[in-house]
Structure 1
Amino acid sequence: MATVLIVDDTPENLSVLSGVLSPEHRIRAVNSGQRALQAAAGRPRPDLILLDVMMPEMDGYEVLARLQANTTTADIPVIFVTALDSGDDEERGLALGAVDYIVKPIRPAIVIARVRAHLELKAARDLLQDRNSSLQLEISRRMAENLMIQDVSIRALARLAEIRDPETGNHLRRTQGYVRTLATQLCSDARFAAFLTPHNIEILVKSAPLHDIGKVGIPDHILLKPGKLTSDEWLIMQTHSRLGYLAIEQAEQDAEQPIEFLGMAKEVAHYHHEKWDGSGYPEGLAGEAIPISARLMALADVFDALIAQRVYKGAFPLEKALRIIREGRGTHFDPAVVDAFFARQADFVAIAAKHADGELGSASASAG
């Protein structure tokens, strides 16, 4: 049974309306605007309000305005019931947000029909809102599930690189942190703001662990070689960027619909060894032709390689690594990315320490 709140300062009107509507509805009756506001916000919450316009202290127009200003009562439909019978009065009431306008003296059949119609409309709206809320919850659940599947897939793919090269495990975690740090530093720069939106930063960070996925295609005698690579071996090593790109592109093509993070991961894997001056690989891109995602990944990857222990080299002291990064400004790296790195140098050191390998931890600590 729906609850109808009747508001009128005249006891006779309250009695008549209550008598007309009480057989089908739960009735609450009050005789002032202030009491109407209290009743509308209380329990049981009314499903419909019949509101007199001409009342002392607070007229019906002000009551309606206050109901609409309160999020608790804003969606309760209001029908004006008034002796004001001019077209202008009715137009004003409807313009202010009333759903209907009944002129006194009331005719019971009209009141019953109007109340029934607006209660049915409200019930339909409430049902639609409930279904929309349920649908939104289901969409949110499925999106969260899809994101979890993406994260698991990324970790599974990244684990392939770890299996082939055990040194990459913490490297992936550190470079992910470095990329986020650079992106958040640069996102307010006009040259980067259009790309480094909060959404794109999350996609980039999610994609970063796949930057070296192509190394699973490099033979062990090259990937794990403890000494310097020969020129032929180095050419084979360079193919890992192309292999990673092709592997992710194939996964992208196999998907039934575009997967955003795969597009970013493919870009990072392919171009993170390009250099600002055009001397990198695999395409020899230069300057702003290099995707922003790859420019950030390039510095993150090199910095970590410098301070980490690798099969082919020892960990460099932090000061030497910083000097190499500084010297690479405008040649190896985008100058703006280098500037962002030094602006957040302390954060880089903290990330390196948090996800340190044994030698990296001691090297970073001694250099710091």
Structure 2
Amino acid sequence: MDAPDFTERATILVVDDTPDNLAVLSSLLKDDYRVKAASNGEKALRIAASDNPPDLILLDIMMPGLDGYEVCQRLKADLRTVHIPVIFLTAKVEIDAEKKGLELGAVDYIAKPISPPIVLARVKTHLKLKAAADFLRDKNDFLEAEVAKRTGEVMAIQDVTILAMASLAETRDLETGNHIRRTQFYVKALATRLRSHPRFAVQLDDGAIDMLFKSAPLHDIGKVGIPDRILLKPGRFVPEEFEVMKTHTTLGREAIEHAEQSLGTKVEFLTTAKEIAHSHQEKWDGSGYPLGLAGDAIPLSARLMAVADVYDALISRRVYKEGMPHEAAVAIIAEGRGQHFDPDIVDAFLDIQEEFRAIALKHVDSDADLGRKKALMSVAGTAQSPQA
């Protein structure tokens, strides 16, 4: 697309302290342009910053009060006027004077006495250049806005897809409700608290915390692969059942890997999601699963999720148990410091335990959630009865 030509009837501001000069320039320009006049720098700045700014300014240098140099400097320092081209018209013909004017941001320098054809030609040229620059700037702003809009849409779709996938896994589990939302905010709170800790500062910048928040809902995605007779069992697992249940960590990682392979490229939040899904049941002392990792060998994302997941499991009401009081859950987390959990993460949890309590209260499960769980358990029990 060609840049539009806005030179016809453009507005020219003429700034000169001599009335005769203003009259001459106005007469020269009036047939082709709208002309505004200012006899001093202060008035010129007011007109330039008005709701109807000029398209170009012809500016004298030697004026009482604010001289042309200072007017130009102020124009270029103001976001409202920075893009208005300034042409100096002056009797100062020294090279240093011209150099100074151009360095201050003027686009041209015309010596007095003026040559009318030269003035008209240069005004026309710089108006065309301004029109092209305005066109490109507007187009760039439009493209940036479109990119931001599309990026926002992609991110929103991505977030909704993650939550939908996570919710699909949770609907097959009696431990559902707002669990995935609570753990998201728990993990973010812990990461934010630890971002200035010497052990974690390098890993926990704004981008990493955003990835943790985005990835956290997928921590139990592997539960979609656990048979209903085990997943929906309203009680403790026998050892054989527990071994099957433990495979949800590996199933989760493999499901996310399959999605990543389908995309044909690595995605940062899916890398974090794989870590969380595969390793959030590992324990600091190496007694967890599936790999028996210990200490810093467990990904930080999974160590954060371990605290968030256990806390929420302890305080949450289930169809087969009442939720534990916040204080009791905190005591259990504290007791697991250095055994189940990373000691520094537990310390951060203890520091912000009231924030955890507030998150739990804000995203509390409803009685409707519990009713749905009971219905699911009833269906599961019926389905299992022939094999009992």
**Gapped regions of structure 2 (runs ≥ 5):** 1-8, 370-388
**Number of equivalenced pairs:** 360
1:13 aligns with 2:21: yes
Distance 2:38 2:20 in 1: 12
CA deviation profile, 1:101-148 (whole Å, cap 9, x unmatched):
100111111111111111111111110111011111111111111112
Check 1:161–1:49 CA distance in 2 against 1; reply closer, same or farther (3 A cut).
same
- Corresponding residue number in structure 2 for 1:365: none
- Corresponding residue number in structure 1 for 2:383: none
Q: Residue type of the partner of 1:352?
A: A
- Corresponding residue number in structure 2 for 1:154: 162
SS in 2 for 1:211: helix
1:142 aligns with 2:150: yes
- Corresponding residue number in structure 2 for 1:57: 65
- Corresponding residue number in structure 2 for 1:190: 198
- Corresponding residue number in structure 2 for 1:2: 10
2:340 aligned to which of 315, 332, 339:
332
Q: Residue type of the partner of 2:236?
A: K
1:272 aligns with 2:283: no
Question: After the TM superposition, which residues 163-312 of structure 1 pair with which residues of structure 2 at under 5 Å, given as runs?
Answer: 163-255=171-263, 257-310=265-318
2:128 aligned to which of 111, 120, 131:
120
SS in 2 for 1:164: coil
Tell me, yes or no, if the aligned pair for 1:271 and 1:282 is still in contact at 8 Å: yes
2:361 aligned to which of 353, 356, 368:
353
Distance 1:64 1:306 in 2: 68
Q: Residue type of the partner of 2:277?
A: A
1:312 positional shift: 6.4
1:165 positional shift: 0.9
Check 1:166–1:37 CA distance in 2 against 1; reply closer, same or farther (3 A cut).
same
Tell me, yes or no, if the aligned pair for 1:225 and 1:312 is still in contact at 8 Å: no
SS in 2 for 1:227: coil
Distance 2:39 2:150 in 1: 50
- Give the stretch that moved more between structures: 260-269 or 116-125: 260-269
Distance 1:124 1:257 in 2: 40
Specify which structure has the bigger relative contact order, considering alpha-carbon pairs within 8 angstroms and separated by 6 or more residues.
2
1:325 positional shift: 0.8
Distance 2:200 2:123 in 1: 58
1:256 positional shift: 5.2
Distance 1:330 1:285 in 2: 14
Tell me, yes or no, if the aligned pair for 1:278 and 1:286 is still in contact at 8 Å: yes
Q: Residue type of the partner of 1:175?
A: T
Q: Residue type of the partner of 2:275?
A: E
Distance 1:231 1:309 in 2: 24
1:20 positional shift: 2.0
User: Considering only aligned residues, what root-mean-square deviation do their CA atoms show, in Å?
Assistant: 1.9
Tell me, yes or no, if the aligned pair for 2:11 and 2:55 is still in contact at 8 Å: yes
Q: Residue type of the partner of 1:183?
A: A
Check 1:188–1:23 CA distance in 2 against 1; reply closer, same or farther (3 A cut).
same
CA deviation profile, 1:296-348 (whole Å, cap 9, x unmatched):
10100011112223466553343332222111111111111101111111111
Tell me, yes or no, if the aligned pair for 1:93 and 1:101 is still in contact at 8 Å: yes
1:358 positional shift: 6.2
1:160 positional shift: 1.4
CA deviation profile, 1:30-68 (whole Å, cap 9, x unmatched):
111111111111242111111000111221111112212
Tell me, yes or no, if the aligned pair for 1:241 and 1:271 is still in contact at 8 Å: yes
Tell me, yes or no, if the aligned pair for 1:228 and 1:312 is still in contact at 8 Å: no
Tell me, yes or no, if the aligned pair for 2:330 and 2:353 is still in contact at 8 Å: no
CA deviation profile, 1:216-248 (whole Å, cap 9, x unmatched):
101122212233323222221111011011111
1:26 positional shift: 1.1
Tell me, yes or no, if the aligned pair for 1:225 and 1:311 is still in contact at 8 Å: no
Distance 1:211 1:312 in 2: 23
- Give the stretch that moved more between structures: 128-137 or 186-195: 186-195
Check 1:354–1:163 CA distance in 2 against 1; reply closer, same or farther (3 A cut).
same
1:195 positional shift: 2.2
